[in-house]
Structure 1
Amino acid sequence: MSSRREILFLQCIVLLALISVRIATQPHEISIPTDVQIVSAVRNVDLTTQIVKVKTDYELKNGGKEDLSSFVHVMSADEAARLSWMSAYESGKESNKFRVSRVKVKGASTEFVFHKIELLNMFVSGANIKLTVDYALTEYLVPSPTEIVQSENQLVIFSGTANVLSVYSVTKESCAYKIGTSKPISFTEMTPSKHTADKISYGPYENSKPYAKKAIVIHYENNAPFLVATMVERIIEVSHWGGNIAVEENVEILHKGAKLKGSFSRLDFQMDRRGARQPVIKTFKTILPAASDDIYYRDEIGNISTSNVYPRSDRVEVELRPRFPLFGGWRTNYVLGYNVPSTSFLYQFGFNFALKMKMMDRLFDNAVVEKLRVKIILPEMSKNIKLITPYSVKRLPDEVHKTYLDTFGRPVIVLEKENLINNHIQTFTLYYDFERIYMLREPLFVVAAFGTLFLAAIILFRLDFSIASKEDKETASGHQKRE
């Protein structure tokens, strides 16, 4: 009976622990102060590439009696589902970043998603402040039509709002969309709105209420490469013995624009005079560290010679040309590798080491990476491993990598992150302890192996494996002397 009670008690404890973890991981719920007002909101949206880049400048006024420490930013649930990057800072001072976290607002509709921006200084009563919020959306633009023939241009649809979504009342606001073409197919017209050159502007609107929403749709031509890396596996191997860090990236890429309808004509492709306006990827440029050496570029067939390397003062540019042009719906994969000296990225203080490298390289302009997996292979016998990342990542269980002369294997740190863009090219720091004496293990193994081999050879040469006895040999030698 007592054992049964103990089991029930343990089950209750586990259940309470799971509930507490679930509550802790859910977004924090907050209330919105009614005395905060947006004096001015100006939003600029760049729709010229496959990434939707949004920049909003706010001027806020605290009309309440209490000082505030945060501001709540709102976006649609559709945008939040494709949100890749978000940053907030004091206007004109981009280095002064604010902390951003997702929250829930009491009584708010599920069609909105909220982010709390924690200010560096208190927003005192009666004061005005200016701040800027940047964010980027991936795979948000929808090709329309979804299939095109080789000679057609790519058209896409953007769905958004003519005003700035807000949980506060807005005194004055405006939105501008840069589409990269002077002839949009169609766009939602409102009063006031205008189309000049490659920009569609809405507003200014005055005295907007909280949660006001003016939906718009823009249909326009966008022939930018919709090149997406569906999977990138980045392997970083640290070698203390050679003073080298080897980096290899296995990349799978897919053109996620309008799919090619019908057959591909090489002749029509070569005679096409649209040039860069073709919705096709012929080449793309990857940026590597300035110290990169021994660069190789291959696929499952073998080495790809259609690439060029351009060393610069602060980087190495590698122009990659796939074996065939990539139209919508077409995919390919490749391996890009290089070596860098450990002195550029590995720092030492006694037995303590710190590896500082980028989470990923710049694969191509306006890159979208659906999934990134980073494997960091440390020297055998590394201990006290500690990782610091510039943003949240998923750390998978550590692995063990074994190669020649290894006994226990080398520790491998495995990280994963989804939905990345070039803003995520930031430095991680990996701390670990490694005693230099362990570098002698492998040479000693080689010396011991060869020593054992030579000793065995000496012993074998000195052993007598003949069938005749020693007396028979002496008798035979005596007969030979008499003769």
Structure 2
Amino acid sequence: MRAEVMKFIVPFLIAGFLVTTCAGKLLNEEVTIEGEIIGPVLRLKCMVKMRNDGRGNFRGFQFAVPPSFKQTDLRVVEKDAPLVSLVVEENSPESMYTEFKIKLSDSIAPSKTKEFIIYLDILNAVTPVRDEVRHMEKPFYLMRALWSFFSPYETDLLKVIYRLNSEPVNIYEGAPKSARVDKRHIFLGPYSKIPPYSEKLFSARFLEKGPLLKMSLFEKKISISHWGAATVVEEVTIRNVGAKVTEFSRLEHFAADQTGGMVNTAKSLPVYLPKDAYNVYYEDLIGNITSSRLREPTASGRYFEPFFRFPLLGGWKNYYWFGYTMPLSGALKIHNGVYVVKVNAQPTVSDPLQVDKAFFRVTLPEGAYDVKLVETEPSVRALEAETSYPTLSYLGKKQFSAERSDFVADPASPAAIYIFYRFSSIHLLLPIAVLALILFAILVLVLVIRHSDLKIDRNSDKEDDDLALYKEIQKLVEVEKSFGKLADAFNNNVINYGNKDETVKYKQDQNRLIGTMKDSLKDLEYVYSEIVKLDAGEKGNAASVSALRKAIIDRYAKLGNVAVQLIEGKLTLKEAETDARKINDEIDICSERIVVAQSSLTSHL
């Protein structure tokens, strides 16, 4: 029974709540828009006085941006509380425009009014009239803007004021009604009874002397160490998106630099570092930054200005990075055992600057746990955490990253990223313990090496060499015995000549060959005896002795092969004598190597 009653009561309760909170009509009673140019950005300040013409209370309102503009994050405050930002949520309607929902801390009662200030930056609202200009030529630019108020509610009264950087200023297209140009200002309105979602555009043409700077890529890296400091590195890719300069002249450039007549040129990008920053440095890849200016801390921070050796002309870009160190007290706060790292979600700049893409990376100390990353801006998106393993790492350091796209970096902006984590001081001692353990292991290893014989045992190789040498010597013994057979064979061949002179010559050749081979055999025996002496001497000659053993075995084998082939008739006397002399020359080389080895042994002694 109770459940059935609730089925009927709940719908009525919900309907009553909706009528109380939503029934009614919001109206923009008065709107004043002030706009100014900051590089390629159109910065808007919309002062809106809203009135509730309905019967119910309004706990929020909506605001929209036309589809022809690309905006940054929206910031809304009440006029009476300018330091407290209201909660802004971006809706995703099916229409092409971007819509935001603003939640109020105090609702707007019927027939009551409340004043708000809406801060909004329109990106890439300023573009050059001509893509290219000559060097030192002042370029003209176009500003695209609204002369209406794009709101879901009707607007009773609207006034618009745009302030440009230089003159002359001309209305280029759109021809808004009630428009007036006064030097560098454009006054539009007042306009009345503007319908909802009214989008009326116009363009203004103006002359600009300064550069249009935009940071196309930025990356900030922060490393936290509980030993007492935090290091920061900021990588900057800056681009002058003004009209591209052609026909560059060094003479005109330096003349204008001396007289202060630089046009469409940036000579530096000053920043304000934290007050307690020290160990400041800068670097770049091509050496375009060779000097800088660093001042003492002030209320705004520590002024740092790196100078471009070659200035940034229209259409040019530059890449560099700078870094500094901060005391841990300036980068880290602790509350109830929880450490808090606050990271400004924008580059360190002294003046507002449009940024296309930015990355923020924070490396926490080893052993950090219960980590939580909190973003304060809708455009900031957290990335997946990574782990790195530096020297002496035992757990790995966690790096938490976030990215932010299409925004305006402003020193007055409160945009920040907060990282909360817990940390135990025991992890400060673990690296010391790991280092001590490594040193102890090295000491033990050194002691083991000093008391161990790690030399390679060559006995097995030596035994193999001796066996091979013995076999070759046995072969040569048989060869030496066959020298007599060789002489008999020669004598039989000589008898067949029948010519005394030929017989004598053949006999001389035979004796000379046999004598050469016997001399080689004696030289081999001598060399072998010297090798045996070396082997019995200093152990440092082991490598030389092994090489000589292998060489002498090879020569024994060659000499034996010549004798066998001669007996078998495969070689003539002349060919055999030639081969024997080559072997003899090789034996002489072995003898020289023995002398060198003996000299080395004598010097060691």
TM value normalised by structure 2: 0.66
Relative distance call for 1:267 and 1:34 in structure 2 (3 A) is farther
Contact 1:34 1:168 in 2 (8 A): no
What amino acid is aligned across from residue 391 of structure 1 in structure 2?
E
Q: Distance in 2 between matches of 1:303 and 1:196?
A: 41
Instruction: Judging by fraction of residues, say which structure has more helix.
Output: 2
| Corresponding position: 1:346 with 2:332 | yes
| Corresponding position: 1:405 with 2:389 | no
What is aligned with 1:363? Answer: 349
Secondary structure of 1:322 counterpart:
strand
Relative distance call for 1:276 and 1:411 in structure 2 (3 A) is farther
Match of 1:308 among 293, 296, 312: 293
Secondary structure of 2:318 counterpart:
strand
Consecutive aligned runs of 4 or more in structure 1 exceeding 4 Å deviation: 459-467
Deviations 1:251-287 (A, max 9, x none): 2121111111x23211111112773661111112011
What is aligned with 1:208? Answer: 194
Secondary structure of 1:282 counterpart:
strand
Relative distance call for 1:146 and 1:152 in structure 2 (3 A) is same
What is aligned with 2:430? Answer: 441
What is aligned with 1:265? Answer: 249
Q: Distance in 1 between matches of 2:61 and 2:335?
A: 42
Aligned identity (percent) is 20
Match of 2:63 among 57, 73, 78: 73
Measured after TM superposition, the shift of residue 236 of structure 1 is: 0.7
What is aligned with 1:128? Answer: 113
What is aligned with 1:429? Answer: 418
Contact 2:40 2:127 in 1 (8 A): no
Task: Please give the residue correspondences for 1:379-398 in structure 2 after superposition, counting only pairs within 5 Å.
Answer: 379-392=365-378, 393-398=380-385
Measured after TM superposition, the shift of residue 444 of structure 1 is: 1.5
What is aligned with 1:46? Answer: 36
What is aligned with 2:460? Answer: none
Q: Bigger radius of gyration, 1 or 2?
A: 2
Q: Distance in 1 between matches of 2:51 and 2:170?
A: 40
Relative distance call for 1:304 and 1:103 in structure 2 (3 A) is closer
Greater mean alpha carbon deviation, residues 248-257 or residues 423-432: 423-432
What amino acid is aligned across from residue 392 of structure 2 in structure 1?
L
Measured after TM superposition, the shift of residue 185 of structure 1 is: 4.1
| Corresponding position: 1:103 with 2:91 | yes
Secondary structure of 1:397 counterpart:
coil
Secondary structure of 1:386 counterpart:
strand
Measured after TM superposition, the shift of residue 111 of structure 1 is: 5.3
| Corresponding position: 1:194 with 2:180 | yes
Q: Distance in 2 between matches of 1:359 and 1:40?
A: 34
| Corresponding position: 1:416 with 2:403 | yes
Measured after TM superposition, the shift of residue 432 of structure 1 is: 1.5
What is aligned with 1:455? Answer: 444
Contact 2:377 2:416 in 1 (8 A): no
Secondary structure of 2:141 counterpart:
strand
What amino acid is aligned across from residue 82 of structure 2 in structure 1?
E
Relative distance call for 1:437 and 1:103 in structure 2 (3 A) is closer
Measured after TM superposition, the shift of residue 390 of structure 1 is: 1.7
Deviations 1:10-36 (A, max 9, x none): xxxxxxxxxxxxxxxxxxxxxx97732
Secondary structure of 2:446 counterpart:
helix
Measured after TM superposition, the shift of residue 350 of structure 1 is: 7.4
Measured after TM superposition, the shift of residue 428 of structure 1 is: 2.4
Measured after TM superposition, the shift of residue 465 of structure 1 is: 8.1
Match of 1:60 among 50, 56, 61: 50
What amino acid is aligned across from residue 306 of structure 2 in structure 1?
L
Measured after TM superposition, the shift of residue 457 of structure 1 is: 3.3
Q: Distance in 2 between matches of 1:347 and 1:190?
A: 53
Match of 2:127 among 136, 142, 157: 142
Contact 1:164 1:175 in 2 (8 A): no
Secondary structure of 2:72 counterpart:
strand
Contact 1:380 1:410 in 2 (8 A): yes
Contact 2:218 2:347 in 1 (8 A): no
What amino acid is aligned across from residue 363 of structure 1 in structure 2?
V
Q: Distance in 2 between matches of 1:395 and 1:174?
A: 40
What is aligned with 2:4? Answer: none
Greater mean alpha carbon deviation, residues 126-135 or residues 48-57: 48-57
Name which structure has the greater RCO, CA cutoff 8 Å, separation 6+.
1
Q: Distance in 1 between matches of 2:38 and 2:441?
A: 68
What is aligned with 2:270? Answer: 285
Contact 1:234 1:373 in 2 (8 A): yes
Contact 1:237 1:245 in 2 (8 A): yes
Relative distance call for 1:61 and 1:276 in structure 2 (3 A) is farther
Contact 1:164 1:174 in 2 (8 A): no
Secondary structure of 1:421 counterpart:
strand
Q: Distance in 1 between matches of 2:38 and 2:404?
A: 26
| Corresponding position: 1:184 with 2:172 | no
Measured after TM superposition, the shift of residue 376 of structure 1 is: 1.0
TM value normalised by structure 1: 0.82
What is aligned with 1:116? Answer: 101
Contact 2:39 2:126 in 1 (8 A): no
Deviations 1:60-79 (A, max 9, x none): 22111111112222221122
Relative distance call for 1:303 and 1:463 in structure 2 (3 A) is farther
Q: Distance in 1 between matches of 2:242 and 2:414?
A: 24
Count of residue pairs the alignment pairs up: 430
Q: Distance in 2 between matches of 1:302 and 1:145?
A: 31
Measured after TM superposition, the shift of residue 126 of structure 1 is: 1.0
Gaps of 5+ in 1: 1-31, 468-483
| Corresponding position: 1:173 with 2:158 | yes
What amino acid is aligned across from residue 87 of structure 1 in structure 2?
R
Relative distance call for 1:436 and 1:404 in structure 2 (3 A) is same
Contact 2:65 2:71 in 1 (8 A): no
